[in-house]
Amino acid sequence: MTERLRLKKNADRRLKAGHLWLYSNEIDIATTPLKDFEPGAQAVIEAANGKPMGIAYVNPHSLICARIVSRDVDVRLDRSLFVHRFKQALSLRERMFAKPFYRLVYGEGDLLPGLIVDRFDDVLVVQLNTVGMDRLREEIVAALEKVLAPRAIVFKNDSSGRRQEQLGDEVEVAYGELPDQVLLEENGVRFVVPVLDGQKTGWFFDHRANRAWLNGLVAGKRVLDVFSYVGGWGVQAAAHGASEVLCVDSSAQALERVAENAALNGLAEQVAVGEGEAFEALAALKAEGEQFDVIVLDPPAFIKRRKDIPNGERAYSRLNREAIRLLGRDGMLLSASCSMHLAPERLMECVRGAVRHQDRHGQVIYQGHQGPDHPVHPAIPETAYLKAMGVRVFRN
């Protein structure tokens, strides 16, 4: 018999609106003590009047103490439901993308909270970010095997989310045999993906459409790609006609991958790399009198928690100021943020202040966000996190 978790009076409003999360302070712990639950156990969620509202998995040690996996209380999160949800997710991606390179499962956006799956053709990279998902790893592998028959499945379980759930880090090939090189194609450009030792799952599919937009504006231009990682922006810019590209990153290993990806596309002559921390590298380029036509700023999240907002906004402002100093008379800035806690209008304000600080004019000509393989759950604002602004920056 499935355990039950009862909500306090009026604590069911968000659930009725479509949200999937329950917080520990919303639970009627006198009736259904959270401490009685084993982490990852599944439970029927009940309104205060006892009405069943759905099935969730529970973690009594987390602020988000339960996550809804189905509104049907007769359903359980098991191999069968995973197969169904994976097929639903796959049907969307196959409508959106001609080739099998995309985020296949985006957690709450695909009604599978705590689960990420990225697809690189016949290699799948999985992140199990909650205890509830971690307990079901065998069912997840079996369902992926049934739906996609992959060559290999990698568990890339080293996210900060796991640590919040008191789970350890692990990176392993969970199924099949990993090829020597995992390749992907994005916007007509090929890349080697470091699925075992790269950031996140090895690649950031979320910026695909934003990169495609910028690719149309770089022909004959000198491009600076800051926080370049393995060259997603910079190598694509070179492939779309940029005369020169400089990729800057603090990781020597990432820059080796930039060079490898440039060579893979016959672009070694156009793409240079520079190792360094971003702010120091921008200052050094200014001191050397360098100038660029297009600058891409795609930093890691400067704001991880709400309390980081003031310091994070100052960092975004400073980063954009330093970059704009390196733009020519009529340049293009692509300024991005993956900080969920930074509202789009605040990024706009950071860029506006940076443009005026250099006594220039700005015209926002593009506002982008995450691609359709990262579908936004309309009841969960946290699923909409990515912002990208294309700004023409020019002198009087």
Q: What letters, b where the CB count within 10 A reaches 16 and e where it falls short, cover 299-337?
A: bebbbeeeebbeebbebbbbbbbbbbbbbeeebbbbbbb
Segments of the chain assigned E as strands = 3-6, 21-23, 42-46, 52-58, 64-70, 101-106, 115-120, 123-128, 152-157, 170-176, 183-186, 189-192, 222-226, 244-249, 271-275, 292-297, 327-337, 361-368, 387-394
Q: Distance between CA atoms of 72 and 55, rounded to whole angstroms?
A: 7
Q: Distance between CA atoms of 297 and 226, rounded to whole angstroms?
A: 5
Q: Which two tokens stand for residue 58?
A: 């529970």
Q: Distance between CA atoms of 316 and 279, rounded to whole angstroms?
A: 11
> Catalytic site residue 338?
yes
Q: Distance between CA atoms of 342 and 225, rounded to whole angstroms?
A: 22
Q: Distance between CA atoms of 299 and 249, rounded to whole angstroms?
A: 10
Q: 99: exposed, middle or buried (C-beta count within 10 Å: 0-12, 13-18, 19+)?
A: exposed
Cβ 148 vs Cβ 124: under 8 Å = yes
Q: Catalytic pick from 65, 247, 338, 350? A: 338
Q: Distance between CA atoms of 375 and 108, rounded to whole angstroms?
A: 9
Cβ 351 vs Cβ 389: under 8 Å = yes
Active site residues: 338
